[in-house]
Amino acid sequence: MNYKETIEYLYNSAPLFQNVGKAAYKEGLANTFALDEHFGHPHRRYKTIHVAGTNGKGSTSHTLAAILQSAGYKVGLYTSPHLVDFRERIRVNGEMVSEQFVVDFVAENRNFFEPLYPSFFELTTAMAFLYFAEMQVDVAVVEVGLGGRLDCTNIIKPELSVITNISFDHVQFLGNTLAQIAGEKAGIIKPDVPVVIGEAVEETRPVFEAKAHEVNTQISFAEDAPEVLDYSFNKEKEIYYLTKSYGELFGELCGACQAKNTNTILTAVNILKESSAFQINIENIRQGFAHVCELTGLMGRWQAIQTSPMTVCDTGHNTGGFQYIAQQLAQQPCQQMRIVMGMVNDKDINGVLAMLPTQAVYYFTQASVKRALPAEEVERLASAHGLQGKCYPTVAKAYQAANHDAGKDDFIYIGGSSYVVADLLTFLQTSSQNQEASS
């Protein structure tokens, strides 16, 4: 099989969460342990940092990786989902895993893993851990896929664990209360591994404290001793931070949620610096924050795709993420706001829609995954919240319509789901490649 055929095989042979949702979720770690044994426990050959949380874990993982890269370490980065290319999930110093490695991994091991009937994420995690070992990384930043306790990344013994925050998401797997969800996320807290909690509330803090006490490990709440003293957006479309320990920092990621992420990241960096495992200086930290997208390939976090009209996409997809997105939309100066919106069927769509501006013009759409809520259903639910617009069958057509309608002083936002952003970026990349081919 070539690379394209191999990816199709992975999508079709192993349940893929973005397509089938709950059916792709496998309770327990039996397959993970079997795969790990088969490959010789590759994650034991390098240091790791483990990042969980409802929102912000992608930005946090990428920024920590960027800081470590800037400090001269060879850094593996494992995140999900991907937006354009499967290989985005597995990177070393920002470079995606090679197509050939993916092809060889499947060809050489399918006779072993097929009888296990693993999930797509179980296979991908095994692939990532093996690749990092073969690339001889110094450290891998590993993002939890879903939850924590039973997530297949949870076989690692990291140098540091990070839990960014807790809000309602994936309640069908993790529980119907914040305390229950926190209990699942707290499953990554391990003996003798310090843990940073980015944000906690009355229901979740005791859960984290109890777990840390149970395993006798150090727990730090980033909000208790804030590193970020103040922040603002500057004319260069960066975030300016005034910090307690590192003075002025400039962040490339411009979402309003990034201030809390930065507080979490800097608290984590403080602990990494205290250990003998890493040597990190202030310049490494500055470079990591200022160039995270370039260093790690991060996309889709309040990402500007054009400036006239200003057009931004963001992968925020639940109420916890949209509380910041809605705040940023409300503060966005423009003649007319235009919002391309689609969601998947297992989110609190009414909770998200209730936060959105009624004065915007909406372009309702659906991503090209099976879990996508039909555009007509999004429009029906949105109308109950006073949001008006038209339906479009694809993200590309919705974006093109919004772009056609917009004046240079308008503002276009595309989001509601990671998969909406994925379809947008795929369309833009394909269009760019076609233009280059015809010129």
Domains defined along the chain, listed by start: 3-296 (3.40.1190.10), 303-438 (3.90.190.20)
- 140, 77 in Cβ contact below 8 A? yes
pLDDT above 70 as % of the chain = 94
- Contact yes or no for 173/25 (Cβ under 8 A): yes
Sign of the four-CA dihedral 387, 388, 392, 395: negative
Confidence of residue 24 (pLDDT cuts 50, 70, 90): very low
Q: Which residue has the higher pLDDT, 211 or 318?
A: 211
Burial class (CB in 10 A: 0-12, 13-18, 19+), 223: middle
| Residue 283 C-alpha from the chain's centroid | 25
What confidence tier does 263 reach under pLDDT thresholds 50, 70, 90? very high
Q: How far apart are CA 156 and CA 353, in angstroms?
A: 38
Among 8-17, 28-37, 265-274, 331-340, the least confident range:
8-17
**3-state class of 77 per DSSP?**
strand
307: phi then psi, degrees, rounded to nearest 5? -110, -10
In angstroms, the first-to-last Cα distance of the chain is 32
> At which residue do the structure tokens 């483990």 appear?
50
Listed in sequence order, the residues at least 6 apart from 27 whose beta carbon sits closer than 8 Å to its beta carbon are 150
Mean pLDDT of 275-303: 94
Contact 198, 264 (CB under 8 A): yes
Q: Which residues contact 111 (CB under 8 A, 6 or more apart)?
A: none
Number of CB atoms found within 10 A of residue 240's CB: 14
Q: What is the pLDDT of residue 439?
A: 65
Task: Report pLDDT for 26.
Answer: 55
Residue 374 per-residue DSSP state: P
Residue 19, pLDDT score: 45
Cα angle value 348/349/353 (rounded, 5°): 125
pLDDT, averaged across the chain: 91
Pairing of strands 303-307, 247-251: unpaired
- pLDDT per position as a tens digit, 293-339: 999 999 999 999 999 999 999 998 788 888 889 999 998 999 999 99
Q: What are phi and psi of 182, to 5 degrees?
A: -60, -35
Question: Could you say which DSSP state residue 389 is in?
Answer: E
User: C-alpha angle 376/382/384, rounded to 5°?
Assistant: 115
d(CA 310, CA 197): 35
The 3-state DSSP class for residue 94 equals: coil
> C-alpha angle 388/426/341, rounded to 5°?
15
Check pLDDT > 90 for residue 438. no
pLDDT of residue 21: 44
Query: What pLDDT, on a 0 to 100 scale, did the predictor assign at position 27?
Result: 63
- pLDDT (tens digit per residue) in 100-115: 999 999 999 999 998 8
Q: How far is CA 104 from the centre of its chain?
A: 27
Closest CA to 356 of 334, 337, 377, 336: 337
Q: Which of 14-18, 175-179, 385-389 is the least confident region?
A: 14-18
Confidence of residue 23 (pLDDT cuts 50, 70, 90): very low
